[in-house]
């Protein structure tokens, strides 16, 4: 590294990261990352899965310009019974030119925020103009950031919430007394203008006949092989947009219908990057049903981690250590 002064590696805890995140800024940087995706200077191989008895781990690398990152994130559905988050993550943030680790940060909140932000961006381009109702199917941690992100871009008259767990939707609604939230049945949630499916289901919960004309669905829960939330007939009838075609085919909402021959890869209309960049059209009619298959991609993490790191340096947040010996 010659005589160039290198900052020590910054350690950012969950509390540090949460204090540095602002949803409006996360939406801004994630949308910029989707504009850059596919252009020179951006690299992102598909996420790699490691299955274990109680859940799975995913390794998610990406580089963009002068920085790179890899996130090691888990999904363990049984963690709720152990008072642990279902999803936890750690992210290594590096200088792409030298490989030097600039930061090691908790990525649990990063994952939640960037996932909510990405779905809200998809809704911005795919939902009907003037959408006034939001439906949240599943009221775990991701429901909070979905609500937070969508509220940045839409003015909702009512937000409908449903969860199969007794009391979960009620507790979620009580957390937001000023947000016009109501506990509803599954069918009522699916009557919303925008629906976010946030479950770990392996069998379809959303039946085709329950989804109204003109609805937009963010299919977020199906993020691993074998997971499925939507009736395949819904995908066939809808305009389907994915975050990444390789990931969606292997582990997104379309993975089971593809393997069963009930949906074809060529029926995917576009990637979100293509829609954001105007390379392909989004919603084409008010009556069209649109579906965004959100698997979660590494450029979302990298963009959000860059925001966190820069803000941490500006505000002197975190603990700097000599993690790697510098000669």
Which secondary structure element, helix H or strand E, spans residue 258, and what is its range? helix 255-259
Residue from 56, 93, 51, 77 nearest 301 by CA: 93
Going through the chain in order, the beta strands assigned E by DSSP cover 9-12, 42-43, 48-52, 55-64, 67-75, 87-95, 101-106, 133-137, 158-162, 181-183, 194-197, 216-219, 239-242, 268-271, 290-293, 319-321
Q: If you ran DSSP here, which 8-state letter would residue 56 be given?
A: E
For residue 49, the cross-strand partners are 58
If you ran DSSP here, which 8-state letter would residue 78 be given? G
Q: How many CB atoms lie within 10 A of CB 91?
A: 27
Evaluate whether 305 touches 72 at the Cβ level (below 8 Å): no
Please pick, among 47, 71, 124, 227, the residue that the annotation labels catalytic.
Answer: 71
Nearest-5° Cα angle at 136, 271 to 200: 75
Contacts of 206 by beta carbon, 8 Å cutoff, 6+ apart: 137, 190, 195, 197, 217, 229, 230, 231, 234
Please give the structure tokens belonging to residue 140.
Answer: 């775990």
CA distances, 7 to each of 10, 95, 100, 111 (Å): 8, 11, 10, 25
Calpha distance 272→293 (Å, rounded): 9
Active site residue 71: yes
The Cα–Cα gap between 173 and 176 comes to 6
- Which residue numbers are catalytic? 71
């Amino acid at each position: 590294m010659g005589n160039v002064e290198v900052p020590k590696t910054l350690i950012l805890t969950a509390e540090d990261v949460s204090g540095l995140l602002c949803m409006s800024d996360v939406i801004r940087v994630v949308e910029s990352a989707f504009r850059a995706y596919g252009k020179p200077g951006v690299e992102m191989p598909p996420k790699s899965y490691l299955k274990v008895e109680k859940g799975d781990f995913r390794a998610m690398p990406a580089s963009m310009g002068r920085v790179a990152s890899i996130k090691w994130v888990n999904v363990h559905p049984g963690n709720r019974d152990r008072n642990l988050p279902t999803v936890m993550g750690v992210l290594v943030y590096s200088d792409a030119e030298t490989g030097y680790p600039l930061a090691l940060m908790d990525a649990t909140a990063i994952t939640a925020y960037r996932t909510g932000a990405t779905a809200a961006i998809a809704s911005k381009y795919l939902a009907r103009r003037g959408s006034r109702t939001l439906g949240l199917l599943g009221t775990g941690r991701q429901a909070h950031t979905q609500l937070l992100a969508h509220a940045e871009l839409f003015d909702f008259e009512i937000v409908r919430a449903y969860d199969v767990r007794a009391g979960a939707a009620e507790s979620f609604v009580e957390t937001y007394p000023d947000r016009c939230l109501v506990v509803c049945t599954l069918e009522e949630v699916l009557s919303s203008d925008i629906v976010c499916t946030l479950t770990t289901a392996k069998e379809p919960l959303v039946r085709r006949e329950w989804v109204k004309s003109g609805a937009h669905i963010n299919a977020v829960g199906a993020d691993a092989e074998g997971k499925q939330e939507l009736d395949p007939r819904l995908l066939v009838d809808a305009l389907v947009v994915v975050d990444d075609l390789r990931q969606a085919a292997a582990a997104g909402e379309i993975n089971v219908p593809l393997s069963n021959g009930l949906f074809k890869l060529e029926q995917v209309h576009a990637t979100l990057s293509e829609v954001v960049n105007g390379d392909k059209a989004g919603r084409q009619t008010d009556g069209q049903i649109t579906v965004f298959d959100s698997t979660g991609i590494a450029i979302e993490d990298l963009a959000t981690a860059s925001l966190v790191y820069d803000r941490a340096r500006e505000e002197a947040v975190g603990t700097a250590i000599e993690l790697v010996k510098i000669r």
